[in-house]
Structure 1
Amino acid sequence: MSADGMKVPTVALVGTAGYGRRHLEQLLAWQADGVLRLAALVDVNFDAETRRLVDIAAAVEPQYLSSIDGLEVDLVVIATPPHTHFALAERVLRSGSALYLEKPPVPLLSQLDALRAITPRRRAEVGFQQARATIERLEALLPEVGDVERITAHGCLSRPDSYYTRSPWAGAWYVNGTAVFDGALFNPLAHIVHTALTLARRIDARWAAESVEADLYSVHDITGDDTGVLRIRSSYGPVVVAVGTTAADVVRPPAITVHGTRGHVTVPHVASTSIHPLLAALNDIDGPADRLIDLDAVRTFVDVVNQAVEVGEPVRIPVSEQQRIRAGVRCLPGIAELVDQVVSTGSLFAELGSGWARRPAPGMDREAM
């Protein structure tokens, strides 16, 4: 019970490592404020840091479980590797619990459509946390740019080699034949890609990802990509471009830039003062899901990822083009400047004349299928 005698929702966190650790810390803080009761933690292994955090913060210890079988809670947060999301989310939706699924939602469009076919008894959302706040800030500025011609999602991140060696799925498109699609624009920068695509659909409701050009590369020793550009076209509304890297020579936070007939505006995609969507869900578990991050809203993002992967495998950038910043951290010299050029021009890397870039195969045109 909360201080005012109201029953607080019970929550289970599935996945306590990686980004799940952030969720654990946040859930423990909200529990201390009387917002929820953390009833269960579910993982294949619990490290000492997880137990230490719980021991310090939790007055009542949650259950430590290895499976969600038989789990009865009000809301389940899933923060496991992307290729495990579908099976877990399906079971949660069928159980009647509310669902908060960390991004990216699922690798395959067929998996998402299967989840969408299940009528949730409670709200179900995907953790694109800053989508609403960023879109609302951008929409307030749209009159300044005139008719919108292009929306560009961009970010320059730096990740050490250990980020990709921590697990077999990290930086992989497939693991033992199972789709993972852990690319720079598909996972660490997925939130800005989803936001850009959502804004395009709000500008013109007819907007659809009819063709996707994918110009993707890897700097790190991975089988997937860590650097790339996507250019998505529709017969209606603006072109959407997404560009980013996890091998930045200059780190720049994720942002969205909108180009129009009278100018452009840029809004950083960072934490805002708006209520966290997970907290909003906890405050109204039986209410309607946020239409910007529900299972229907994320379909375009998953569709674009699937089309991008169909274009072809990423190209490995030669070691001679790379630079070691320090032990265990590498970068691609000049990549931040190239990202700036993509933002300014809407070009692919291959169109900017970089020595390591190659012209990708044309994107799949849905109208021609």
Structure 2
Amino acid sequence: MTATVALIGANGHGRWHRRRIAEVEQAGRVRLVGLADVRPLEPDPPVPDGVPVFTDHRELLAKTSPDVVVICTPPHTHLQIALDAIAAGCDLLLEKPPVASLAAHHTLAASLGAAGRACQVGFQALGSQAWLSFRDALAGLGKLDGITATASWQRDDTYYARSPWAGKRRMGGRPVVDGALVNPLAHAVMQALASAQAVGAGRPRQLVAERYRVRPIEVEDTAFARITFDGGLSIVIAVTLAGEDFIAGEISARGTRGRATLEYPTDRLALPGDGALRKIEGRADLLTNLVEHRASGVPLLVPLAATADFTAVLEALTVPDAPLPHLLDDSAVVTDGPQRTIPGINDLLRKVVETTALPSEMGVPWAAPPFTQRLPVT
């Protein structure tokens, strides 16, 4: 049976979901019954004929009764919209980050369990065959020295003007979670955490983070973090939105028998013995997987439970007493119109993931003392 689907949050990244839903609909797996956004819809892609558009998600739920709801709204609004959708009898595809705290995670999980509903979280890179090959190769690397993640992107002033919550820590008393680690580059963090889960590292217990900003926002655009697990394994993450040359996003694991590297946005993989990254074809669509789960019980690729460690890290980064990211001065930043770049940042990112030392531990001149936080039990 074709599942009916509605999208809440149809602008911005929601436009990607509109296109993806159209592709799945063309394959005969779903039927779009409604779109919702508090702003007028952007015209590309066009709204299909006969599909109603709402400004209130509750009206959409009441009038269209969808089987599945895709939620692509600002992160701090996810929980209430998800609870409303569950109460309306819907299964969920919930964009990342799913919720802003472990308390919200537990509330959502309890609501899903009581209603018998399913929730897939939008970490789409975990649906790729390249990820599965990387994950399966970890056991053959011998004793791991650690797992690392890095990415270098460039986001200019217009990125932080895209919405009232962009670059904010809190709005209306709620954490907004728009920092590089937990929103634009959240996939790097999640892939690294999932890698640690795959090798049985236990739960993450401590976060040591250095967070920086190149403009007067309230969250980090550049970050370095070390997360230590029960079993002693550590993952080190080095990312920036003030980068030089583009690094799409890489996860690497180094062991006594070699190294494996996954470029997760492009599904390129290098295993021990490979001379270079090679493309691994095949990426499962999360919406299709959710529809198949509804129909036949196939496992979800990214169930809510799989994101608990990510939410624990997110919560540690957004506790009220966490210091603001260190604002770099003009001596460490090059400004070119709306774009700001940290000279030498790409070399530093590479050095951090190679040595697993944080900038302050290397004596980088602009580095600030790290922020250390015990992670809450998930």
Under a length normalisation based on structure 1, what TM-score does the superposition of the two structures give? 0.90
Q: Among residues 22, 28, 52, which one is paired with 2:22 in the alignment?
A: 28
Report the residue type matching 2:314 in the other structure.
V
Task: Verify the 8 A CA contact 1:152 1:343 in the aligned structure 2.
Answer: yes
Counterparts of 2:29 and 2:372, CA distance in 1: 50
Q: 1:1-369 maps to which residues of 2 (within 5 A)?
A: 7-50=1-44, 53-54=46-47, 58=48, 60-69=49-58, 70=62, 71-118=64-111, 119=113, 120-133=115-128, 134-204=130-200, 207-236=202-231, 238-272=233-267, 273-288=282-297, 290=299, 293-310=302-319, 311-324=322-335, 326-364=336-374
Matched AA of 1:154: T
Percent of pairs with identical residues? 32
Determine the C-alpha separation between the residues in 2 that align with 1:291 and 1:148. 28
Question: Does the CA-based 8 Å contact 2:293-2:300 persist in structure 1?
Answer: no
What do you get for the CA RMSD once the two structures are aligned? 2.0
Deviation, structure 1 residue 331: 1.1
Judge which range, 233-242 or 215-224, deviates more. Answer: 233-242
* Distance apart, 1:30 and its partner CA: 2.6
1:136 counterpart SS class: helix
Amino acid at match of 1:75: V
Query: What's 2:270 paired with?
Result: none
For the residues of structure 2 that align with 1:291 and 1:280, how far apart are their CA atoms?
6
How many residues get paired? 354
Distance 1:348 1:289, change over 3 A: farther
Structure 1 CA distance for aligned equivalents of residues 366 and 329 of structure 2: 8
Amino acid at match of 1:228: A
* Aligned partners of 2:225 and 2:238 also within 8 Å: yes
User: 1:47/1:85 Cα in 2 relative to 1: closer, same or farther (>3 Å)?
Assistant: same
Structure 1: which amino acid aligns with 2:177? F
Query: CA distance change for structure 1 residues 287 and 322 in 2, over 3 Å: closer, same or farther?
Result: farther
Secondary structure at the counterpart of residue 158 of structure 2: helix
Change (3 A) 1:283 1:143: closer
Distance 1:366 1:44, change over 3 A: closer
Q: 1:352 Cα deviation (Å)?
A: 2.1
Q: Is the 8 A contact 1:75 1:285 kept in 2?
A: no
Instruction: Determine the C-alpha separation between the residues in 1 that align with 2:176 and 2:375.
Output: 24
Aligned-residue offset at 1:283: 3.4
Q: Which amino acid aligns with 1:174?
A: R
- CA displacement 1:54-98 (0-9 Å, x = unmatched): 2xxx3x421111222214111000000111101001111222211
What is the rounded CA distance, in whole Å, between the counterparts of 2:371 and 2:284 in structure 1? 42
SS at match of 1:297: helix
Listed as ranges, the gaps of 5+ residues in structure 2 are 268-281
Gaps of 5+ in 1: 1-6
Provide closer, same or farther for how the CA distance between residues 229 and 262 of structure 1 changes in structure 2, counting only shifts above 3 A: same
Instruction: Show CA shifts across 1:168-216 (max 9, x none).
Output: 2112221232201111010111112112112212211x61111111111
One-letter code aligned to 2:105: L
